Amino acid sequence: MRDPADNFAERKIRVIIAKPGLDGHDRGAKVLARSLMERGFDVVYTGIRQTPEDIVRAAVEEDADVIGLSVLSGSHMYQFRKVIQLMKKNGMHDVLLIGGGIIPDSDKSKLIKMGVSAVFGPGSSIDEISTFIREKSRRLK
């Protein structure tokens, strides 16, 4: 059981985990969603085959602090570009965007340049991801 003095019933850092595009490989996304829940985050899992529009709208309605996109289909450059575009349009400059999935190193640096805060590929540890979110999330700590 958690320490009862630990911020009673307070809003936690809210993370959207989403899979954009035609990509049904959701094991990683589900493991991450469950693991972040176990580390005290409120995680909204939107499921597979989401459009960037669906994801950003969900993030607006949930007032997410973090958006995490998992892409294993190879369409990551398009999906992230579109999500970043929509985030800008909605004034979501204080929302952290992170990524994961099968993304070549050469694309990782391009994504970071575009505004993705971090890309966690296979082999990343959950603690690494959770610590990163806690440190970088600008809205809630």
Partner 1 sequence: MIEEAISGDRKALSRLMTEIELGNEKITENLLGKIRGATVIGITGYTGSGKSTIISKLALRLINKGKRVGILCVDPSSPASGGSLLGDRIRMPELSRQPQAFIRSIPTGGKRGGLGYFVIDLINAMDAAGYDYIFLETVGAGQDETEIRNIADVVVMVMVPNLGDEVQVIKAGIMEVADIFVINKADTGPADEKERELLLILNRDSTGWVPQVLKTAAINDAGMDELMAAIDGYLLLHGGNQRAKIAARLKQLVRYHVEYRLDRLMSQELDSKVNELLSGKSLNEVVLQTLGELAK
Which residues lie near partner 1 (CB under 8 A)?
Answer: 1-2, 4-12, 33-34, 36-47, 50, 53-54, 57-58, 60-63, 90-91
Look-up of token digits 């019933």: 9
Which residues touch 130 (CB under 8 Å, ≥6 apart)? Answer: 35, 36, 39, 41
* Closer CB to partner 1, 41 or 120, in the complex: 41
Measured from the CB of residue 107, what is the shortest distance to partner 1 in angstroms? 27
Measured from the CB of residue 94, what is the shortest distance to partner 1 in angstroms? 11
* Closer CB to partner 1, 19 or 76, in the complex: 19
Hey, how many other C-beta atoms are within 10 angstroms of the C-beta on 25? 14
* Closer CB to partner 1, 29 or 118, in the complex: 29
- What are the respective helix, strand and coil percentages of the chain, to the nearest 5? 40, 20, 35
